[in-house]
Amino acid sequence: MKLPVILFVGVTVFLSACSTTPKENDQQAFESELSEATLFLKVLHTLDSGDVAKTRRVAMIPVCVDISSLPNFASKGHPTPEQRQELVTLARGTAGYLSKHRQEFDGRLPSVQACLHGLRKILTEPDDIRRLQELSESFAEAEKKTETK
């Protein structure tokens, strides 16, 4: 007799924990996007072993999208100090990667613009701000060269 009661209580507790409407969980979204962007950045570095410019541009899109949304999730979630540091490390790595391959990226693309916007929200140290300014200027210069052709 106890097994059906225990089973009934267990199922009731389980079903009550399930929600019919999903609840927004900014912390979970923050952690997910942080992990995803970090993974894609590693993939990009691995792809550097050959001539993979087109693949690099395509693979960078999710990193850019994640970088653009992570500051919003961080402000709504509760990232730990370690996660905040991981975010800064990811942002610096992304900025460095864009700088290293700046000739392969079109600064006019929405994904690149969103990425730069997100990087500006994350990176606030003077050296980081200077690097982002140089990167933006590099993209603007490349755009001018493209327009004059």
pLDDT digit string (tens) for 45-70?
777 776 677 778 878 888 998 999 99
139 within domain boundaries: yes
16 within domain boundaries: no
Cβ atoms within 10 Å, residue 109:
15
Q: Kindly state the average pLDDT of the residues 108-126.
A: 95
Range of the domain at 95: 24-148
What's the pTM value of the predicted model, to 2 decimals? 0.69
90 within domain boundaries: yes
Least confident of 7-11, 25-29, 64-68: 7-11
Mean pLDDT of the residues in the chain: 81
Domain count, the chain: 1
Residue 51's pLDDT is 64
pLDDT-based confidence at residue 39 (cuts at 50, 70, 90): confident
15 within domain boundaries: no
